[in-house]
Amino acid sequence: MATATYKRGEIRTVQYLAGGTIVVDQIIVGGVVDGKKCRVLVAREAGSSGDTIICAASGVFEFPKVSAGVIKAGESVNWDSSEGGVDDNAHTTGAGDVAQFGMACEDAGNGVTTIDVDISEPGTYDAA
């Protein structure tokens, strides 16, 4: 399970109906409708299946990063669900990934394992 830590910025929140056990700072792909635009959310409270919890839909969070990804500040980034981390936007998305869900707030090269990401923009869900 991947988690993200709040860093800075305005936080807008949404209510999210948990489909399973959720822990604080867990990364959640929310709002998926027909494989179109969706949000990468960060849980701000814990919950169990059937609970409505508060999740951040904007702000800057420190995310786990795919070690081999090379990302420049200002670049849009992808969520790689199989790796449980942020990857560069050249990464070919697969089932469950979210393309261009946020903006990198710093450079993060090969071997770096975390990155600050502004999650204010929606991404595109890959339903493949």
Q: Rounded to 5 degrees, what angle do the CA atoms 19, 126, 41 make?
A: 45
Q: For 78-115, how does the pLDDT look when each residue is reduced to its tens digit (9 = 90+)?
A: 999 999 999 999 888 999 999 999 999 999 999 999 99
- pLDDT classification of 13: cutoffs 50, 70, 90: very high
Using CA atoms, how far apart are residues 108 and 2, in angstroms rounded to an integer?
A: 18
Cβ atoms of 99 and 78 within 8 Å: the answer is: yes
> Which residue's structure tokens are 């807008």?
12
Q: How far is CA 124 from the centre of its chain?
A: 12
For 46-86, how does the pLDDT look when each residue is reduced to its tens digit (9 = 90+)? 999 999 999 999 999 999 999 999 999 999 999 999 999 99
Residue 120 reports pLDDT greater than 70: yes
66, amino acid identity: V
